[in-house]
Chain A
Amino acid sequence: MSMAADRTLPWDWYSGTIPKNVQLADSAYVESTFSFYLFRSERDDAASIGQGASAYLGTMFDVGANGRVTIGDYALINGARIVCDAEITIEDYVLVSWNVLLMDSYRVPVDPDARREFVKRVPASVLRRFDAYGPARPIRIGRAAWLGFDCCVLPGVTVGEGAVVGARSIVIHDVEPNSIVAGNPARLVRRLTPEEINHGR
């Protein structure tokens, strides 16, 4: 279960490669190099995907020139959009459901006049992607956290370890460790009990 010497994947339906600045552990599984179609980071350490981690179909690393994505050991990315211009860290054992969005930058000015000038430049660019704009704010998803399907994690958010984010939540504030949040915007539903937190330890 590893990529070939030419950085292709033997099972791939898409004729792409794993970019050279992506460090893929031997035991990690990436379903398709199509996930890197929008990967344009120029950093040497642009991404790492840990032992036993997996990135299934629908996952898209939409990573800008200065972006860096770290995916920990045994993390499971089941089709997420990762919009990264600064740093997105997904720690060990994190479960990310389908259609989840992680974005560390809005990539456009909020002011509509400034935004128009920005939008006008896009058709002239080769890949037709937005340049990085404004301050990107790193995202961290803590160890063994679980993100429900369709949820969005917005710039600057830290999700604490062991936390659970309900399906379709929009997370705009930090989530405390070992808590359950849900809603738009996501709010605390309850904290896990000590028995739940220590279960099996």
Chain B
Amino acid sequence: MVRLPDNVHAGDNTVIHGDIAFKRFLSKQVPGLVIGAQCTMDGVQFAVGPQGRIDIGDYCYFTNAVLLCELSVKIGNYVVIGWNTTIADTDFHPLEPALRIADAVACSPLANGRPRPAVAQRPVVIEDDVWVGPSATILKGVRIGAGSFIEPGSLITRDVPPRSRVAGNPAAVVGPV
């Protein structure tokens, strides 16, 4: 059994499997993670930074997904996310080499309290009834429209219109659902 951190809310008949679910859950938000009812979170990693908050609707089913959240990840109802898929609302490090050097120092054991430079972050939104195949990657700022079907291995860098089927790297619409 996983012990839920105090700022995590899970709804009726929701199950969370796996020892690593909250190993990297550092959210200071209240709440920092809200999971609706009737959900199955099998081997999911909730890697959430101090400012991050994840909202998940009802009847969601995630298998071994990694959710990396420094800001906001919002997921609707009836969303299925496949094995080995990663969702991130952040770039993790700055684009500019000089800022990245400063970030490397700030992340090091020698940081001595140096603050990290700002990093590009934009919320991710996945609307109702979306199916995300295994080994997909969804990056910052993306909104995936309701009912869409994300083929396995897709890398999503742009918004996906509702009820569309996407595939590839970078992902493109290959047809309606």
Query: In whole angstroms, what is the CA distance A113 to B78 when docked?
Result: 10
Query: Does A49 sit within 8 A of B, measured CB to CB?
Result: no
Q: Are the C-beta atoms of A154 and B152 separated by less than 8 Å?
A: yes
Q: Which of A6-14, A19-27, A88-96, A118-126 contacts B (4 or more CB under 8 A)?
A: A118-126
By the criterion CB–CB under 8 Å, are A123 and B134 in contact? no
Residue of B78, B84, B133, B169 touching A116 (CB-CB under 8 A): B78
Assess the A103–B152 pair: CB atoms within 8 A.
yes
Asked if B22 lies at the interface with its beta carbon under 8 angstroms from chain A, I say: no
Q: Which candidate, A68-76, A104-112, A134-142, is the interface stretch facing chain B?
A: A104-112
Asked whether A81 is an interface residue with its Cβ less than 8 Å from the other chain, the reply is yes
**Known A108-B131, A115-B78, A115-B131; contact A185-B83, beta-carbon cutoff 8 A:** no
Task: Given A110-B177, A112-B177, A152-B152, check contact A101 B83 (CB 8 Å).
Answer: yes
Min CB distance A33 to B, Å, is: 17
Chain B residues whose CB sits within 8 angstroms of the CB of A152 once the complex forms = 134-135, 152-153
Of chain A, the residue at the smallest CB distance from B40 is: A128
With A and B bound together, what is the CA distance between A116 and B80 in angstroms? 10
| Interface assignment of A184: CB less than 8 Å from any CB of chain B | yes
Complex interface: stretch among B91-99, B118-126, B160-168: B160-168
Report the minimal beta-carbon distance from A136 to chain B, rounded to whole angstroms. Answer: 15
Instruction: Say if the beta carbon of B149 comes within 8 Å of chain A.
Output: yes
Report Cα–Cα, A52/B30, bound state, in Å: 54
Within the complex, the shortest CB–CB distance from B62 to chain A, in Å, comes to 12
Are A108 and B80 touching (Cβ within 8 A)? yes
Q: Is the CB of B84 within 8 A of A184?
A: no
**B35-61 vs A, Cβ < 8 Å mask (1 yes, 0 no):** 000111010000000000000000101
Give A4 Cβ to nearest chain B Cβ, in Å: 27
Interface residue SS majority, chain B: loop
Contact A185 B167 (CB under 8 A): yes
Q: B78 contacts A81, CB within 8 Å?
A: no
Does B112 count as interface, using CB distance less than 8 angstroms?
no
B-facing mask of A144-177, CB < 8 A → 1, else 0? 0000001010100000000000001010100000
Contact flags B108-144 to A (C-beta < 8 A → 1, else 0): 0000000000000000000001110111000000000
Cβ contact within 8 Å between B147 and A112: yes
Chain A positions within 8 Å of B80 at CB level: 108, 115, 119
Contact between chains at B153 and A119 (CB < 8 Å): no
Interface pair A119/B177, CB less than 8 Å apart: no
Q: How far is the CA of A185 from the CA of B146 in the complex (A)?
A: 24
Cβ of A81 and Cβ of B38 under 8 Å apart? no
- List, in ascending order, chain A residues with CB within 8 A of B167's CB: 170, 172, 184-185
B111 to chain A, nearest CB (A): 32
A119-B78, A120-B78, A128-B15 known; A111 vs B177 contact (CB < 8 Å):
yes
How many Å from the CB of A156 to the closest CB on chain B?
13
CB–CB A115/B129 < 8 A: yes
Contacts of A66 in B (CB 8 A): none
State how many angstroms separate the Cβ of B139 from the closest Cβ of chain A: 15
Q: A99-B84, A130-B61, A152-B135 are in contact. List 17 more A-B contacts (CB 8 A).
A: A106-B133, A110-B165, A111-B177, A112-B149, A119-B61, A120-B38, A122-B40, A122-B61, A123-B38, A123-B39, A128-B42, A128-B61, A152-B134, A152-B153, A168-B153, A170-B168, A184-B167
Sample 21 A-B pairs with CB under 8 A, ordered by A number. Answer: A81-B84, A110-B165, A112-B149, A112-B177, A113-B129, A113-B147, A119-B59, A119-B61, A119-B78, A120-B38, A122-B40, A123-B13, A123-B40, A128-B42, A130-B61, A152-B153, A170-B135, A170-B151, A170-B153, A184-B153, A184-B155
